[in-house]
Chain A
Amino acid sequence: MLTGVKSLNRRNFLVTAAAAGTAACTGRPETPWRTLTADEATTLEAWCECLIPEDSDPGAKRAGVVRYIDIQLTRKFKRHRKAYSQAINALDKLAYAQNRGPFAALSFDERSLLLASFEKSENSKAFNMVLDHTLQGYFGSPRHGGNKDYASWRMLGVPPIPVRGRLQYSLLDPESNGGIS
C-alpha cells in the first residue's frame, strides 16, 4: 500500500541504487597507478631501474617493479604509503639541490652517484625499503604485479612451471617402484 510520497521514495531508491553502482568507476583512471602520482611513479621507476638496470634482460622498469609496489601500497604495504611519498620527495629534492633537475631527468651515472649518497644519508632506511621491494617485485611471482612475463626467472633459466610427472606406484604391490625403470 504505497502512497504517492512513498512511490517517490521508491524512485529515489532506484536512482540511488543505480548511482551507487555507477559512482564506482567513472572515466578511465587518469594514471595507470593506483596510489602513486604520475610524478612519483616516474621518479620511483628511475630509482628502481638504477638498482636493477636493463642489460640484455629487462631491468626493474620493464619488469614492472613499480607496478608491483603500487599495487602492494593498496594492500600489504599500506603502512609504507607515507614513507614512499617522503622518500621520493627527499630524493627529488636532493636531485634539484645537487643537479638542478628532477631525479628522473638525470643521466644513469648521475643517478647512481646520487643514490649512493642518499643511501649513506639519514635516508638509509628508505633506501633499504625501496631496495627490498624492488628485489621482491623483480624476483617474486608475476601474480603479485611484478616480474612481468617472468623476466627474472627467464634470465636465471628457471622455467615458470617445471615438468613434473606422477609416480605410478601401487600400494597393493610392494614390488612396484613408481614406474622408475
Chain B
Amino acid sequence: MKIAVILGLILFAAFLMVPAASFVYESGAPGACARCHEMAVPVDQWAGSAHRGVTCAKCHGDALTTDAQFHMTNARRVVEHNFGQVAERAQLRPGDVFAILQRCQNCHPQEYASWAAGPHSVKYEPLFLDKKHNSERHLMDDCLRCHGMHYAGGIRDLVTPLNNQGPWSFRDASMADKPAIPCLTCHAIHAHGNPLKGHVRKAGISRKEDVMTPSLAFWDRRARESVSVALLPLPAVHEGERPVKMSPDQRQALCYQCHAPLGNTQVRSGDDRTPVGVHEGLSCFACHDKHKQSTRASCANCHPKMSNCERDVETMDTTFFNKNSGHNVHFVKCADCHPKGIPAKKAKLERARQ
C-alpha cells in the first residue's frame, strides 16, 4: 500500500516535471530560452529577424499548451542537457512543422489563403499514392527532396509497397492530408537578413537579395537546414547550344529547386519552365503570384502595350487560354504561330496611310 502511494507520487511528480520544463523555456521571455547553449543561436537569429517583435510562444506554444508532445520534447531536452548530451543544435521535430503552420495562419491569413488556393498546398496523398505516377516511375527517397521534405523517415517508412503494381497506401494513414509544401519549405523564420554581401558576387550569385523578403530560403532535407535564397544557384539554361537569357531575379532560385531542368541544362527538360521565345528573360514572378501562382492578373501589366499581333493575348492560342494548346506560354515563339514569317502590321499600316 505504502509503496503504491510512493510510486504514485513519483509518477505524479514526473508528470508535473514535464510542463515544468516547458516553463523553463518561457520563464522570463526570450532571454530565458537563451540560457542553454543550443538555444542561443535560434534566439540570436530571432532577434535579428522580421519576427523579433513576436514572442517565442506565439509560434512554439507555451507551458499552458495542451499538446503533450510539446512538453515531452522540452522535458527530453532538459534531461539530456543535464546529462551533458547537448545536441549539435536544437531542431524542430517534423511534427511541429504542421502544428506551426496553423500559427502562421493566425497572423498571415491572406498569404495562407493564397497558398491554400494554389498548387503548393498539395497534400501527401495525390503525390505519393498517384496510380499513374507510381506505375510509371519508381518511388524513392529522392521524391521527398521536392515535396514532403519535412517528413522524418524515408520513403520506405511512408509508403507501402515500394513496387510498380500497388495498390499503394501510407503506413501511417494520418499522413494523407498533411501539406507536402508548407510555409517552411520557402521561409526560414530564424534567419538574418543579408549575409556577407561582399562575397556574393564572387560566387556568381546575383545581388538581388537586397530586395527580397529576408526569410526566403529553401528547406534542404538532407542537411535539415534552410538555405537562404541568396545562396541558391540560378541555373544557366540552354536551348541547344545557345545560352538562354535569364532574368536575374534571384527569388526564382527557389522555384528552380523543384521546377528544375535536368543535368543537360536544356530548356523544357525535366520540369523546366524557363521562358524562351516571346517571353525570354522574364522572371517567373513577372507572371506568377508568389503564393497562389495564378497568372491571370499579370498579362495586363504588359499587354496590349507590348503586343505585336493587335489581338488580345489572353484569347490567343497558348496554354493560358487552352491547357491543351501546342503553344505553351513559356516557350512560344513568333515562328510557332507565324510559320510563314511575321505578317506586316496591317492595322498600323492602315492607320499610317490615313
Contacts and interface: CB of A to CB of B under 8 A. Distances in A.
Contacts of B262: 165, 167, 178-180
B108 to A, nearest CB: 26
B135 interface: yes
Given A6-B5, A28-B34, A34-B86, A18 B16 contact: yes
B156 interface: no
Given A17-B17, A21-B17, A181 B257 contact: no
B337 interface: no
Contact of A16 (B13, B84, B263): B13
Interface in A141-180: 141-145, 149-151, 154-155, 157, 159-173, 178-180
A163 B196 contact: no
A49 to B, nearest CB: 17
B271 interface: yes
B82 A17 contact: no
Contact of A18 (B20, B218, B220, B235): B20
Closest 8 CB pairs of A and B: A165-B270, A21-B20, A165-B260, A25-B35, A159-B233, A13-B13, A17-B17, A170-B136
A82 interface: no
Contacts of A164: 260, 263
Interface centre among B17, B75, B135, B260 (most CB of A within 10 A): B17
A20 B136 contact: no
Contact of A23 (B82, B232, B269): B82
Contact of A24 (B81, B223, B271): B81
B290 to A, nearest CB: 20
Nearest to B227: A160
Contacts of B256: 163
A170 B137 CA distance: 6
Q: How large is the interface on B (under 10, 10 to 19, 20 to 34, 35 or more residues)?
A: 35 or more
Contacts of B261: 163, 165
Interface of B: 5, 9-10, 12-14, 16-17, 20-21, 23-24, 27, 31-32, 34-37, 39-40, 75, 78, 81-82, 84, 86, 88-89, 135-138, 142, 146, 164, 195-196, 198-200, 202-205, 218, 220, 223-225, 227-228, 231-233, 235, 256-257, 260-264, 266, 268-272
Contacts of B36: 24-25, 29
B12 A10 contact: yes
Interface in A94-120: none
B83 to A, nearest CB: 10
Contacts of B164: 171
B271 A14 contact: no
A57 interface: yes
Q: How large is the interface on A (under 10, 10 to 19, 20 to 34, 35 or more residues)?
A: 35 or more
A151 B196 contact: yes
Interface centre among B17, B20, B37, B233 (most CB of A within 10 A): B37
A58 interface: yes
A108 to B, nearest CB: 21
A154 B231 CA distance: 8
A160 B220 contact: yes
A128 interface: no
A7 B23 CA distance: 24
B14 A9 contact: no
Contacts of B260: 163-166
A143 B218 CA distance: 15
Contact of B17 (A20, A58, A166, A168): A20
A110 B261 CA distance: 52
A74 B14 CA distance: 28
Nearest to B74: A21
Interface string A1-12: 110001001100
A17 B79 CA distance: 12
Contacts of A181: 266, 268-269
A154 B203 contact: yes
A155 B232 contact: no
Given A150-B227, A172-B135, 16 more contacts: A13-B16, A18-B16, A21-B24, A22-B23, A28-B31, A29-B36, A151-B199, A155-B203, A165-B260, A165-B261, A166-B142, A166-B260, A170-B137, A171-B137, A172-B136, A181-B269
